[in-house]
Amino acid sequence: MACSTCGTSGGSSGGSCCKLKAMDVDTPLDNIANGDKNFCFSEITDQICESLANDEGIHPSATNQNSDCDDLSSLNDLATGSLHNALMTLNMCDVDAYKCWLDSLLSWQWNVDKAIICAICGIWEKIHCLDEKEKYLQCQIDKIKDILLSLVYGNVDTKGSYVVQQETPNLSVVVNKDGSFRYEWSDWNTAPNPWQELGHGVLTGKVNFTMAVNKDGGLDYHITSIHIGTITYTTKNAGWTGSEPRYYILVPADGTQRWTRSGTVNSSWSVNVNENYPFDHKGTITPNQESEIIAFMTWGADWSVDDKVKLQFKFINNNDTIDLDCPAPDCKVF
């Protein structure tokens, strides 16, 4: 292959027609050296790669370190300047010299690419570590939520119950955790066999109470009143001609009669009582203990066959222990 030169017939490419200016390679090398007069850059070693992965630059010192962005920029300037300056004096007709320059080009390209790869891999390691830490923090947040919910709800509980003292068929009683209750009963003609249902009634109400966990983990509770809502009766139109039942409510269960009515089983009726009857009962329960059973109301029906039921309520301090341990992330890049 023939060589064409812009200078002498001897093949030198150093003539004046290519007026190239040498690039500064001292400044980027000094920047990378980070004040170390003995530093000489040869290639991206494992130690340098680790520094780049930690965003500490190529050659951090005990007192100073560059960022990866600073040193990658300097390395790019050093590589470009070194190749450019070598190209200025390269004899393109000297195949060995050209091969040597190309090898230097590949070497510099490898070093720049390797430095970028080390920095990017370090970034991804941090991203994965942040993901682990985010999961760890979320675990801790969830534990804190568990503690707060436990203080408000989880550590404490309530339980309703009832005691049947006299009972007729179709009797149904429900006392819920929130204090609401529902009582259902039926009136019967007991002469025939089987008995004849004359009517069905429903009573609704609620135990009004407050409770809070104190600083010692005890549960302070206070029943303030018993609310009687509506009492509804639906007749079966049986044409009853005998005596009528009398219904009554006692608050507390063995206390004062708060409401009474003589029923009329041959007609349907509804009463909106809507009264809060005083019931001042309070106390404190230590952890892992329950209150006494509080009999707050009696419903009764006096007739040829009677219903009589005590409605009850109690408070429970479970004091559940919350596991605060979360698996810590393994990464240590921060």
Joined tokens for residue 203: 């009573």
Provide the b/e sequence for 230-239 (b: ≥16 CB within 10 Å): ebbbebbeee
- Does pLDDT of 291 surpass 70? yes
pTM: 0.51
Max mean pLDDT range (16-20, 300-304, 314-318) = 314-318
Which pLDDT score is estimated for 222? Answer: 96
Q: Could you give the CA distance from residue 140 to residue 142 in angstroms, rounded to a whole number?
A: 5
Using alpha carbons, select from 110, 119, 28 the residue that is nearest to residue 73: 28
* pLDDT tens figures, 54-102: 999 999 987 778 899 999 999 999 999 999 999 999 998 999 999 999 9
Residue 154: predicted pLDDT: 57
* CB atoms closer than 10 angstroms to residue 297: 27
Using one digit for the tens of pLDDT, what is the confidence trace for 274-287?
999 999 999 999 88
- What is the Cα–Cα distance from 266 to 248, expressed in whole angstroms? 19
Structural domain boundaries in the chain: 20-130, 157-317
pLDDT tens for residues 252-269?
999 999 999 987 899 999
